[in-house]
Amino acid sequence: MKLVFASNNKNKIKEIQLLVPKTIEIVSLEDIGCYDDILETADTIEGNSILKANFITEKYGLNCFADDSGLEVDALNGEPGVFSARYAGEPKNDDNNMNKLLSNLKNKSNRKANFKTVICLNINGEQHLFTGIINGKIIEEKIGTNGFGYDPIFVADGYTNTFAELSIEEKSTISHRGKAVKKLIDFLK
């Protein structure tokens, strides 16, 4: 089965391809000739995943799935949330986003946070949502070089290493995206 993943983010595509069985071939936006910048204008993570999936289904008529993810920090009332990728403004920059977050958390004792992913699957005229959440905390400095986004400052509950210190295989089995993809795969079976 071929399934379009409404993304050109090579890191996300790599993570998801590792998680799905060999019977499912993940096809990127580039693979279908889509170079449009799909605007993420919803005010929720769920809303953005729906916008992206609907764009592909409506424009190309293909079965597809899209995801949106965000980091939600308790002490910041859920920030950066839906604005995670552009928290420090345009253009998107992981280091700037992490620096802003660490600055906003300075002198805060509550460092609890969670990563949340919502996948929207449009298949055979139906729409389904799958959510994955991983709880953890934000540490005070960046550690590790793997991963992307906020990985160098996030430690999942029950772990001592940041997501950026884990291999892509380790991270994808416990991550928010990994949990949501597992629900997607279970549904597709």
DSSP 2-35: EEEES---HHHHHHHHHHS-TTSEEE-TGGGT--
Environment class of residue 107 by beta-carbon count within 10 Å: exposed (0-12), middle (13-18) or buried (19+)?
exposed
Phi-psi region of 71 (alpha: psi -120 to 50; beta: other; left: phi over 0): beta
**pLDDT of residue 111 exceeding 90:** yes
d(CA 5, CA 133): 20
Residue 140: CB partners within 8 Å, gap ≥ 6?
102
- Neighbouring CB atoms inside 10 A of 135's CB total 15
The pLDDT score that the predictor gives to residue 135 is 98
Q: Is 43 assigned a catalytic role?
A: no
Q: Rounded to two decimals, what is the model's pTM?
A: 0.91
**51: three-class secondary structure by DSSP:** helix
**pLDDT of residue 45 exceeding 90:** yes
d(CA 37, CA 159): 36
The pLDDT score that the predictor gives to residue 133 is 98
The pLDDT score that the predictor gives to residue 87 is 97
Which among 67, 68, 94, 95 is annotated as catalytic? 68
Q: What is the CATH number of the domain that holds 79?
A: 3.90.950.10
**pLDDT of residue 52 exceeding 90:** yes
What confidence category does residue 18 fall into, taking pLDDT thresholds of 50, 70 and 90? confident
Range of the domain at 23: 2-188
Residue 163: CB partners within 8 Å, gap ≥ 6?
144, 146, 147, 150, 151, 152, 154, 155, 156, 171, 175
Nearest-10 Cα torsion for 11, 13, 17, 18: 10
User: How many domains does the chain divide into?
Assistant: 1
- Neighbouring CB atoms inside 10 A of 80's CB total 20
The pLDDT score that the predictor gives to residue 15 is 79
